[in-house]
Structure 1
Amino acid sequence: IDIRRIGERLGENYVKQIVEDGYFHADPHPGNIWVRGGKIVWLDLGMMGRLSNKDRAAIRKAIFALAQHDVFEMKAAVLSLGVPQERIDHAKLYQDIDVLIAQYGDLDFRSLKMGILSRQIMNVLRTHHIAIAPGISMFCRGVMTIEGVMRLVCPEVSFVEILARSMELSFAKGFNWREEVAKAKREGYILMRKSLQLPEQISDILKMTLSGQTKVNLELTGADEPLARLNKMINKLIIALLSAALLLGSSTICTTQMTPKIMEIPFLGVLGYLAAIVLSARLLWSILRGH
């Protein structure tokens, strides 16, 4: 048996399952792979994974982005691989992906371990609370296992090289120049129509701005801590104003003959003084604690 040829076939077959079929063996350990008569035999198909077209496109985009050291494309690929469970800190996500890509500065596809890269991307997704599809989790498990098998049996064959080559062929196979030309025509026509509307839209914006009707929606990302500190400062200011208002209001009430009274002081004025004391004490305590 030609071990090198078997290794190449094993890698090509598994890549075909991932890239073309989107339906793959999710537990390809040595006990589940036999060689009989020079042919690969897959056993125990109880754990199978599925990848949607969107998942496969995101994986392809992630590999190309890594090869080109494109942080923006990698960020888009990472976001395509899952569903955010809460508000994303895009600045922090960009920074984490930048650190990830920096580890592969001198990228050599033969030495790249796809399983480790997949696990690193999964860690980024978990850190930012982005839910991962079951197919992606199984893909990471399967790729990590098959790489281990190939390193054990035929270390001179690179699984990730086979994967990259297959993805390029897949892209070329899916390319239709007639469709691309038609698409370019449609996009050019849409762009021309929007360009013709620009002067009118700019005129409307200027009119609305001059009449005070323009509204701007601004979303700040990566500034949660400064915003939280500003929010606390505003809360302290509100408490201080309420304390001052209660103090002045109670003092004004004390100059009247309002009943009932406690020790010749109107009861409502006493309540106002007590509320002002409580709020002032709370404010001073928070200031002293530095909160």
Structure 2
Amino acid sequence: MVSHRERFTEIVSVLGKYGFGHIYNTHVKPENKDQNPKNLRLAFEELGPSFIKIGQILSTRNDILPPEYISELQKLQDNTSPLSYDVIEELVQLHLKQPIDHLFSTFNKTPLASASIAQIHQATMPDGRSVIVKVQRPNIENELIRDLNIFIRVIEHIPNIFLGIMVNPVEILNEIKNQTLQEIDFENEAKNAKRFMMYNNNRSVIQAPHPIDELTTQYVMVQEFVDGIRINQKEQLLKADYDLNDIAEKLVYSFLFQVFKDGFYHADPHPGNLLINDGKIYFIDFGLMGKLSPLNKKILIDTLKAITFKDVDEIAKLLLQVCKQHKPIDQVAFYHDIQYLFNKYLTKGFAGLEVSAIFQDVLRFGHQYGLTFPSEFILLEKTIVIIQGVIQNLSPDLDFMAVFQSFLLTGNVIDWKELISPEHLLRSSSRQARTLANIPQKLEKTLDHINNDRLKVTIGFNNIERRMTEVNRMINRAISSLILAALIVSSTFIITTARTPSVESLGIAFFIVASIIGLILLISILRSSWRP
């Protein structure tokens, strides 16, 4: 097995070969010095399955990578071949401490699904229950987590390796590592399933398969088999007399309850994880769950209130409160851009809004200003986009935002009574009255300071360094123009008063030099005025 040191050297060499970090590793001769999306994809492919998985996860993070990198990394494909039945049998016996034929009366040797992390088989329990057996591939944790740790060390040693491409890559990779550790722990997945079932116990339309605790370990999980119709199999659903619009609407309401009521939601609701059986929506595969802390849930609800009341200043304040800031922000431009996004999407009401487009613009906006959104919100954004895609395929005429608006009005998420209650109105009126009452006193104090020469005025400038540079450039040009004018006048005087040919030639030379300098100065001024 390759040592950590050898793998570290290999990762640095491959990244350097494709133009990432070669400046800091002069022993590497890059085939292409350009840091471009295609080269990053090629580097990840050459580094093997772990980096293909890392690249696939990064391709979902449009908050940290430019669109061209996202598009290129989405081309990464798993080429993982299914594990043989002999390997599966050996793994089941290793982790469940019994032979397969003792645990199950039947076991289908052909997998139902095979992915980079696990393989799934259908089986039957001795009591007749139909189940699925999810078996983790060997060494996944060792190889994938090892490579993530080494990749983090590489970036710590070469901090500028993704300069201008990714904001705070070490933090992002640590998030990916933590998320991966949760996904590959099947005991954690079983706990998630039971917690999801507890929250949705009184929502009759939502169901989940029951895990079998005594046959679940970190590496193997056995759970109830659900023989349903996938939510994207529209023809089969119609043949079974299902109302597609009704299913889509129930899915939206279910998701909204999970987010705003429970703060715990299924974060990978793609069609393969949503089955329809006996009029119910079954969620399966609970490896990736979204969680909203009480604070972030409150911020999300406060943002909805600010949107509802068209309070752009409050939206800006909440955005700065929730995001990590990695560079100074031009406050004027920041508020201007928020106002632009607000006008673009929210001045015409909710009808017909494209949620995915809104999130894409907000994430690009944050990336532009060096803002990093918490992973809780990024995961929520990805989930909303997936849900909207499922709904549009299932029922294109269903207005996602109309259902969302109805939920806000009837789901007790926002306490509208609090906003229009006499106490709330009284507090607001009281604040306004106090502000108005203090105006004469503040005005009198200001006039007193003016009369007694105690008034101080502080003026703040945005981008002061750039503006001072421009002022210095203007002053230098003005001085150069004065000197140039003096040269031209002097040379003209010399030419007109010269008494000998040599003095006249000297004056002509001065005039030519001054004209050339003047032409260069004029071109420089024109070029700077054309520059945006």
Give the TM-score normalised by structure 2: 0.39
Q: For the residues of structure 2 that align with 1:199 and 1:38, how far apart are their CA atoms?
A: 68
Q: 1:55 aligns with which of 291, 299, 304?
A: 299
Q: For the residues of structure 2 that align with 1:99 and 1:200, how far apart are their CA atoms?
A: 37
Deviation at 1:201, TM superposition (A): 2.9
Q: For the residues of structure 2 that align with 1:110 and 1:190, how far apart are their CA atoms?
A: 35
| CA deviation string 1:229-248 (max 9, x = no partner) | 236779x8xxxxxxxxxxxx
Say whether residues 1:203 and 2:444 are aligned partners: yes
In the alignment, which residue of structure 2 is the partner of 1:127?
A: 368
Amino acid at match of 1:202: L
Q: 2:397 aligns with which of 156, 160, 178?
A: 156
Q: Which moved more, 1:147-156 or 1:211-220?
A: 211-220
In the alignment, structure 2 segments of 5+ residues that lack a partner are: 1-241, 477-520
Deviation at 1:146, TM superposition (A): 0.7
Q: Secondary structure at the match of 1:157?
A: coil
Change (3 A) 1:191 1:228: same
Q: For the residues of structure 2 that align with 1:98 and 1:178, how far apart are their CA atoms?
A: 24
Q: Secondary structure at the match of 2:416?
A: coil
Q: For the residues of structure 2 that align with 1:172 and 1:229, how far apart are their CA atoms?
A: 52
Count of residues in Structure 1 that have an aligned counterpart in Structure 2:
240
Q: For the residues of structure 2 that align with 1:179 and 1:64, how far apart are their CA atoms?
A: 14
Q: Secondary structure at the match of 1:120?
A: helix
Q: For the residues of structure 2 that align with 1:5 and 1:154, how far apart are their CA atoms?
A: 9
Structure with greater helix percent: 1
Q: Secondary structure at the match of 1:34?
A: strand
Q: Answer yes or no: is the 8 Å Cα contact 1:19–1:167 preserved in 2.
A: no
Say whether residues 1:174 and 2:435 are aligned partners: no
Q: For the residues of structure 2 that align with 1:119 and 1:213, how far apart are their CA atoms?
A: 51
Deviation at 1:32, TM superposition (A): 1.4
| CA deviation string 1:3-59 (max 9, x = no partner) | 221111101101122233332222111111122211111122222223323332254
Give the TM-score normalised by structure 1: 0.67
Q: For the residues of structure 2 that align with 1:133 and 1:63, how far apart are their CA atoms?
A: 20
Change (3 A) 1:56 1:197: closer
Change (3 A) 1:143 1:190: closer
Q: Secondary structure at the match of 1:176?
A: helix
Percent identical residues: 23
Q: Secondary structure at the match of 1:96?
A: helix
Show the 5 A alignment for 1:186-225.
186-221=427-462, 225=466
Q: Answer yes or no: is the 8 Å Cα contact 1:78–1:125 preserved in 2.
A: no
Q: 1:30 aligns with which of 271, 296, 304?
A: 271
Q: Answer yes or no: is the 8 Å Cα contact 1:85–1:130 preserved in 2.
A: yes
Show the 5 A alignment for 1:1-291.
1-51=242-292, 52-61=296-305, 64=308, 75-76=316-317, 78-101=319-342, 103-104=344-345, 107=348, 109-170=350-411, 174-176=415-417, 180-221=421-462, 225-230=466-471
Q: For the residues of structure 2 that align with 1:56 and 1:45, how far apart are their CA atoms?
A: 24
Q: Answer yes or no: is the 8 Å Cα contact 1:91–1:222 preserved in 2.
A: no
| CA deviation string 1:209-231 (max 9, x = no partner) | 22222222222347764244236
Deviation at 1:114, TM superposition (A): 0.7
In the alignment, which residue of structure 2 is the partner of 1:285?
A: none
Q: Answer yes or no: is the 8 Å Cα contact 1:58–1:81 preserved in 2.
A: no
Superposition RMSD on alpha carbons, in Å? 3.7
Q: For the residues of structure 1 that align with 2:247 and 2:381, how far apart are their CA atoms?
A: 22
